[in-house]
Every structure is written in structure tokens, then in C-alpha cells.
DNA sequence: TACATGATGCCCT
DNA sequence: GGGCATCATGTAG
């Protein structure tokens, strides 16, 4: 089982930048959920940047509303919304207070609390499925296809970590007291690949999706 | 108050 | 690879 070693909580200033910069810099960092039962954590392997005014695909495009106000607040806060009648998506606010922008988390590589996350997702794990977690190149086709079902996709990821709008919208991701945090465990990303964002119709041509090149846990 | 739509995932072929 | 469930939100009327 992979154990989180010495980690550093990201600072608000990390998010006080252009969403494109933040989206790229977040790759390889670790999203941590603290529960009474223990720690759930996964490495961020896929993100998308959503800008403010001028980005037709961004929720902030039409201005501040009761739904999207977090995007206009201070950096480093969770923006959680409900989509397609079934799923939640997690974003983090970027740029200074008053300026909208965010990064969508699209996929995690499961690291810690995998059995709990699999249970939350309704995924059945075999006895040997946890071998080799956290290593550079997980091998075993069947095992990988099972583990990918846990958090490869924004809706899946939220279900695995128990993220909902009521529980988490507006919450700080950079507070030592928060039960939802983003930390640096020292992992260094070798290569980043960039492409168009997924599942949108407007402004679909912009290359604002970032993935760790070659990582098998990206959503597509 | 009604309606169209969506930053998705599942289940079936 | 494609159809469909399912509902909060925003906008129009």
C-alpha cells in the first residue's frame, strides 16, 4: 500500500495565477480527503483550465450568480457543481478575489484509501488488485482497468472522495484545518501533454486540457 | 412558471 | 460505440 510521506500543503498564492498556469502546475500534486475512517488520496493526472470573461465554456462567462459565486472569490477554494442530474464536478478557484477563473479536476491516480474509494464507487476489488500502487508504471491489464473505474473522470473522482456541493462548495483547499486539501509530496512530472477540453460544445477548440503524458489513469 | 441544456457515466451492443 | 437516465440552474415569457 502506498503511504503518503512528508507532504507540503499548497499555499493560496499557488492559485493566485492564470488558470492555465495553475492547471499545468497541479499535475502530479495530491488531492487529500480526511475522513473519520482515514485518509483518501490520489495524484492529480488530468486538469482543465476555465477562464473568465471571453471563455464561452466557463460557468463564469455570464457573470456572478448564486451558483458560481465561488469562482469570483479568493483563490484556492472548492467550486463544486451538479451536472447531468447525476454527477458532481470539483474545481478550484484561481486568480485574486473578484477575478473569475478555475481549474477542473478530471482524473486522479488512486494512492491511499483505495479500498474505501472503491467501495464508495461500487467497484469490486480483487485480492491482488492493490499490488504496485504508486509505482511509476503499474502493470497488469485487468487490474488497471478495475482501478481506472475509481477516479478516472470528474464525476467518478467526486464519488470516490465523497465530494458534494452541500459538503464542499466554497471550502478552502489550502487551510490546515480543511478536510479537503491539495498537497505536494515531491513527485515530479516528466512530461505534460496538452489538448482540447472534453465534453463541451462552446470554445471547444482551445488547448486547455492538461494531462501527465503516458499516465494510464487519465479519463480518455 | 416553464423549458432547454449540460465541464457525465453506465449499460448495452 | 451509442443511447439514455436525471435534475439544478439560468433565462425567457
Instruction: Compute the distance between CA of residue A42 and CA of residue A114 in angstroms, rounded to an integer.
Output: 9
- Contact criterion met (CB below 8 Å) for A213 and A190: yes
> Chain A, 54-93: which CBs lie within 7 Å of strand C?
62, 65-68, 81-82, 84-86
| Residues contacting A204, CB < 8 A, separation 6+ | A57, A196, A197
Grouping H, G, I as helix, E, B as strand and the rest as coil, residue A27 is: coil
In strand B, which positions have an atom below 7 A from any protein CB?
A: 6-10
Q: Residue A126: its pLDDT value, please?
A: 80
Q: Between the CA of A78 and the C1' of B13, what is the distance in angstroms? A: 39
A36 touches strand C (CB under 7 A): no
Nucleotide nearest to A89 (CA to C1'): B7
CA atoms lying within 13 Å on the CB side of residue A165? 13
Sign, Cα dihedral of A182, A184, A185, A189: positive
The whole-number pLDDT of residue A119 equals 94
Q: Distance between CA atoms of A119 and A64, rounded to whole angstroms?
A: 37
The secondary structure element, H or E, covering residue A212 is strand A209-212
Q: What is the pLDDT of residue A135?
A: 63
A93-152 tens-digit pLDDT: 999 999 999 999 999 999 999 999 999 999 988 877 887 676 655 556 678 888 999 999
Asked if residue A165 keeps its beta carbon closer than 7 A to nucleic acid strand C, the reply is yes
State which residues of chain A have pLDDT below 50. Answer: none
Contact A102, A25 (CB under 8 A): no
The gap between A85 CA and C13 C1' (Å) is 25
Check residue A162 and give its pLDDT. Answer: 96
Find, among A27, A13, A12, A23, the residue nearest to A184 by Cα: A27
DSSP A94-158: -SSTT---EEEEEEEEEEESHHHHHHHHTPPPPTTTTTTTTSSS---HHHHHHHHHHHBSHHHHH
pLDDT score recorded for residue A133: 74
Amino acid at each position: 500500500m502506498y503511504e503518503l510521506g512528508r507532504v507540503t500543503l499548497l499555499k493560496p498564492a499557488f492559485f493566485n495565477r492564470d488558470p492555465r498556469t495553475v492547471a499545468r502546475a497541479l499535475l502530479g500534486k495530491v488531492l487529500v480527503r480526511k475522513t473519520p475512517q482515514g485518509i483518501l488520496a490520489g495524484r492529480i493526472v488530468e486538469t482543465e483550465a476555465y477562464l473568465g470573461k471571453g471563455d464561452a465554456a466557463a460557468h463564469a462567462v455570464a457573470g456572478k450568480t448564486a451558483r458560481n459565486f465561488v469562482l469570483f472569490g479568493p483563490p484556492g477554494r472548492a467550486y463544486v457543481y451538479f451536472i447531468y442530474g447525476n454527477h458532481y464536478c470539483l474545481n478550484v478557484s484561481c486568480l485574486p478575489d473578484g477575478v473569475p477563473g478555475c481549474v477542473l479536476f478530471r482524473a486522479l491516480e488512486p494512492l491511499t484509501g483505495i479500498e474505501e474509494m472503491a467501495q464508495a464507487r461500487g467497484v469490486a476489488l480483487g485480492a491482488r488488485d492493490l499490488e504496485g500502487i504508486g509505482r511509476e508504471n503499474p502493470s497488469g491489464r485487468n487490474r488497471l482497468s478495475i482501478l481506472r473505474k475509481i477516479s478516472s473522470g470528474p464525476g467518478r473522482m467526486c464519488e470516490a472522495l465523497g465530494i458534494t456541493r452541500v459538503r464542499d462548495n466554497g471550502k478552502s483547499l489550502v487551510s490546515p484545518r480543511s478536510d479537503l486539501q491539495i498537497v505536494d509530496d515531491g513527485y515530479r512530472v516528466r512530461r505534460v501533454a496538452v489538448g482540447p477540453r472534453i465534453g463541451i460544445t462552446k470554445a471547444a477548440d482551445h488547448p486547455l486540457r492538461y494531462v501527465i503524458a503516458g499516465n494510464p489513469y487519465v479519463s480518455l
